[in-house]
Structure 1
Amino acid sequence: MAIEIERKFLVTSEDYKKKAFKKTRILQGFLSTHKERTVRIRVKDDEGLITVKGISSQDGLSRFEWEKTITEQEAKLLLNLCEPIIIDKIRYEVKVGNHIFEIDEFLADNEGLVIAEVELKNEDEVFEKPHWLGQEVTGNVKYYNSQLSIKPFKMW
């Protein structure tokens, strides 16, 4: 159990793909998208995960997160119980300075949306911003994966 501190940004070009050291296909669904808690099921390559997240801080920078590994089979079975829209995305990981950016290229109902996240040790931590980072969307609820499963990008 931990407090997750992260900042989110829109992405302005595909230049991150040239620097990516890892690429992962992710399917995820939500058993709960309540604003005070979300319960996420994820299949990440051949691994399953269940994650519980608490309500975000007022500025959207931090929130409680608990995650546990489950089998891929368990995760696929639980995806069948999730709310209707399953998030399908490709995650690229890029090292920039002392940080790793996770860039999610959304597919299916959220195709066209690309978001970069960087996890921080504290809310005031300074980090190098690559040239492909665009507008910051930290704390903007419509960019949360849980909300993209309710109102996908194609409906905006």
Structure 2
Amino acid sequence: MVEIERKFLVNSEDFKKAAYSKSRIQQGFLNTNPERTVRIRIRDEEAYITVKGKNNEAGLTRFEWEKQIDKNEAEELLKLCEPGMIDKTRFLVKCEAHTFEVDEFYGENEGLTVAEVELSSEAETFEKPNWLGNEVTGDARYYNSQLTKNPYKNW
């Protein structure tokens, strides 16, 4: 239930050629308090509720709990979410022993593409593909919960 991940900007669309999967995601937040966020997500035909705790000082590690829920329930819960929605396509890209989740955003976050890689420890090393740009791990502006409040188009 502990999530360790690093986040990067993406500097080209080369990742799309290597992607083995893609799905459309819509999500909103019932709570965006930095101490705990509660997210409702619909990914294609599946839906989830996720609770995330506060990041550690480095921004790498935090508690995460997720449960699949009925899609109709998720659609109703999205109506209760705080203002601002996330609309994106997620591409899964295998690189050596790791899988990168690359999110291409739409709507008010159009033009933003970020990649995340989950790790088993904060010190774990990984291969960095050529399309990976600057690291933004721990930069709260890039948290989905914050992109609903201050979208990329406003930067």
CA RMSD, Structure 1 to Structure 2 (Å): 0.4
Aligned amino acid, residue 91 of structure 1: R
Aligned amino acid, residue 125 of structure 2: V
2:86 is matched with which residue?
A: 87
1:18 is matched with which residue?
A: 17
SS in 2 for 1:13: coil
Identity %: 62
1:84 to partner: Cα distance: 1.3
1:60 to partner: Cα distance: 0.2
1:88 to partner: Cα distance: 0.1
SS in 2 for 1:17: helix
Question: How does 1:106-125 map onto structure 2 within 5 Å?
Answer: 106-125=105-124
Q: Deviations over 1:86-143 (max 9, x none)?
A: 1000000000000000000000010000000000000000100000000000000000
In structure 1, stretches of 5+ residues that fail to align are: none
SS in 1 for 2:92: strand
1:53 is matched with which residue?
A: 52
In the aligned structure 2, how far is the partner of 1:48 from the partner of 1:114? 22
2:138 is matched with which residue?
A: 139
SS in 2 for 1:33: strand
What TM-score do you get using the length of structure 2 for normalisation? 0.99
Aligned amino acid, residue 121 of structure 1: S
After TM superposition, the runs of 4+ consecutive aligned structure 1 residues lying more than 6 A away are none
Aligned amino acid, residue 17 of structure 1: K
In structure 2, stretches of 5+ residues that fail to align are: none
